[in-house]
């Protein structure tokens, strides 16, 4: 069982017309994916978090993290894509919390900031 917090250093956005992808036995309707990569503090081991944005009528798979492969995935509705990318563009630093024992806790987060920062 492992959990790790990485600082996201890079991201890549891929749009799909409508990709049908089988995940945990479910046919998921993928519209976009944002691949976030980074490393934990004091480590050079690159980790990847794929944030997969799905069509409104798609089943939602459970998030996952394979600690041995250093790869995680979480699933959000396509309507959240622009807000997610906006956060990646405008906030720094950005972190991803990955946990194979509690994949439901996989998350992307910012640092604590003062109220009214006006970014």
| Residue pair 81/53 in contact by the 8 Å Cβ criterion | yes
Instruction: Decide if pLDDT at 1 tops 80.
Output: no
pLDDT in the model for residue 63: 97
pLDDT in the model for residue 118: 64
88-119 pLDDT, tens per residue?
A: 999 999 999 999 999 999 999 998 888 876 65
| Residue pair 72/48 in contact by the 8 Å Cβ criterion | yes
Residue 89 in tokens: 């563009």
What is the C-alpha separation between 35 and 96, in angstroms, rounded? 12
pLDDT in the model for residue 112: 84
Please list, in sequence order, all residues whose beta carbon lies within 8 angstroms of the beta carbon of residue 6, skipping any fewer than 6 positions away.
Answer: 38, 39, 40, 47, 49, 95, 96, 98
pLDDT in the model for residue 117: 67
pLDDT in the model for residue 113: 80
8-64 pLDDT, tens per residue?
A: 999 999 999 999 999 999 999 999 999 999 999 888 999 999 999 999 999 999 999
Q: Is the peptide bond before 78 cis (omega within 30 degrees of 0)?
A: no
pLDDT in the model for residue 119: 59
From residue 4, alpha-carbon distances to 13, 49, 61, 83, 96 in Å are 23, 12, 21, 24, 8
- List the beta strands (DSSP E) in 41-93: 47-54, 64-66, 71-77
Q: What DSSP designation does 58 have? A: S
Going from N- to C-terminal start, the domains of the chain cover: 3-110
């Amino acid at each position: 069982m492992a959990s790790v917090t990485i600082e996201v250093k890079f991201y890549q956005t891929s749009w799909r017309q409508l990709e049908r992808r089988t995940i945990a036995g479910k046919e998921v309707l993928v519209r976009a994916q944002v691949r976030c990569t980074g490393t934990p503090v004091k480590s050079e081991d690159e980790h990847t978090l794929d944030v997969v944005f799905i069509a409104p009528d798609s089943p939602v798979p459970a998030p996952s993290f394979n600690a041995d492969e250093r790869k995680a995935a979480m699933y959000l509705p396509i309507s959240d894509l622009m807000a997610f990318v906006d956060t990646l563009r405008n906030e720094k630093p950005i972190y991803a919390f990955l946990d194979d024992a509690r994949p439901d806790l996989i998350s992307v987060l910012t640092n604590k900031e003062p109220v009214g920062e006006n970014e």
